[in-house]
Structure 1
Amino acid sequence: MSEMLTVPPAWQRAPATLALLGLSILGFLLVYLPFPFSWVSYLTFTPFEIRGEMIRFGEMGGQYWRLLTPAFLHFGWLHIVFNGLWLWELGHRVELLLGSRMLLALFLLVALLSNGAQYLFSGPAIFGGMSGVVYGLLGFSWVAGRLRPAWALEPPRPIMLLMVGWLVVCLLGIVETLGFGAIANAAHLGGLLAGALLGLAVAWLAGAGRRGRSRL
């Protein structure tokens, strides 16, 4: 008698994506705790304190976790829902194909570069969100999927048009003009470019490894 193989559902095979999503939800909840800014100040790119109507920013010093933790902060329901859905959609596909370590490596590199880009562009400021990483996963999936069609990573054209269109709308300042608050455009663009370059590197290394094995 043959046994049927059961494949675990995607959420069980994508623990790293779920962990990042859980930390993002936790970061969102921290913003809404009593005295939220006393908590948030430990996770922003640079520490800050509020004195009356003024915000005073400090130095990062040796608190290197701040290079990554802004990615987990979310400042509204739409913010966490939008980023959470895209993080799952793009992240779990990368994880299922290339593994949890690859996804976590992508997160670390893209979060570092996108947060750094936003800081270089805006200077000391309160910014956060997983959207830089989301755009990094988009860029990675698009480039790696194009170069390695067998990976089936390339996002469908409607998704690419939607995400790139939203990026352009944000860059033009339309979202801020409509009163939805400041947008971390440098993080979005920096994440997209970082992800695309990482997709190029990973696809090239995969091809080089395959060519090397074929010569043995």
Structure 2
Amino acid sequence: MFARTESLGQFIRYYPVVSVIIAIHLALYLASTLPIFPNYWFFDNFAGVNLYITHGEYWRLLTPIFLHGGFTHLLFNSFSLVLFGPGLERMLGRGKFIFVYLVSGIAANFATYLLEPLTYRHVGSSGAIFGLFGYYVSIVLLRKRTMSRQDSQTIVTIAAISIVMTFLQPNINITAHLFGLLAGFLLGAATGRR
């Protein structure tokens, strides 16, 4: 489920939503480096800044999901999405996958808005990606027959390591990681009941 053996063309054809999200990540990162935009224009206008959200710039609950603070940040989040997004996109279908991804990311950013100081600034898709982990964990715990034992062990191990690393690495939005995970889990639990 998590091993990627497709060619690039096959990957794009089989997993169009994951492919589009990664393309948006790359396009925004590259655009932010172009000289036609003033320094930090994308971040000034689209990063999550709690003070600006308070003043009505509510798009900042969504747009940080697609921005990254550097190439390493972009690469790590996009790589995580390549590994863990396809299985869930195939399992849920395109529409539900988009819903889980965006709701988890927005929930993570909204929790950041509520719990962090007004001056707090953040970007990145980690909250949405943790939402995917949370959804997988709900499958492992509530619908055990949906995933193989090996895949279940893999996702629980990766989720546990990711949570531990959240607290060990500097400059991590801990609130977004935890609430993205919780949102994904709750969405998975709700879907499981239906």
Alignment TM-score > 0.5, same fold: yes
C-alpha deviation, 1:110, in angstroms: 0.6
Identity %: 29
The residue number in structure 2 matching 1:40 is 43
Structure with greater contact order relative to length (CA < 8 Å, sep ≥ 6): 2
Larger Rg: 1
* C-alpha RMSD over aligned residues: 2.4
Q: How many residues align?
A: 182
C-alpha deviation, 1:98, in angstroms: 1.5
Correspondences of 1:118-137 after superposition (within 5 Å): 118-124=112-118, 125-137=120-132
Q: Deviation per CA, 1:153-183, whole angstroms, max 9, x where unpaired?
A: 8844244324422322332xx322xxxxx11
Answer yes or no: is 1:16 the counterpart of 2:17: yes
Structure 2: distance between partners of 1:20 and 1:31:
17
Letter of the 2:105 partner, please give it.
A
C-alpha deviation, 1:32, in angstroms: 3.0
Deviates more, 1:101-110 or 1:161-170: 161-170
Structure 1: distance between partners of 2:121 and 2:39:
13
Letter of the 1:40 partner, please give it.
F
Counterparts in 2 of 1:38 and 1:11: CA distance versus 1, 3 Å: closer
Counterparts in 2 of 1:71 and 1:153: CA distance versus 1, 3 Å: farther
The residue number in structure 2 matching 1:3 is none
Alignment check: 8 A CA contact 1:68 1:115 kept? yes
Q: Deviation per CA, 1:131-167, whole angstroms, max 9, x where unpaired?
A: 1111110110121244334432884424432442232
The residue number in structure 2 matching 1:195 is 184
Structure 1 runs of 4+ aligned residues shifted over 4 Å read: 59-62, 153-156
Deviates more, 1:72-81 or 1:184-193: 72-81
Structure 2: distance between partners of 1:141 and 1:159:
7
Secondary structure at 1:169 match in 2: helix
Letter of the 1:184 partner, please give it.
N
Structure 1: distance between partners of 2:165 and 2:89:
30
Alignment check: 8 A CA contact 1:14 1:95 kept? yes
More helix by share: 2
User: Which structure 2 residue ranges, 5 or more long, are not aligned?
Assistant: 1-8
Secondary structure at 1:36 match in 2: coil
Answer yes or no: is 1:110 the counterpart of 2:104: yes
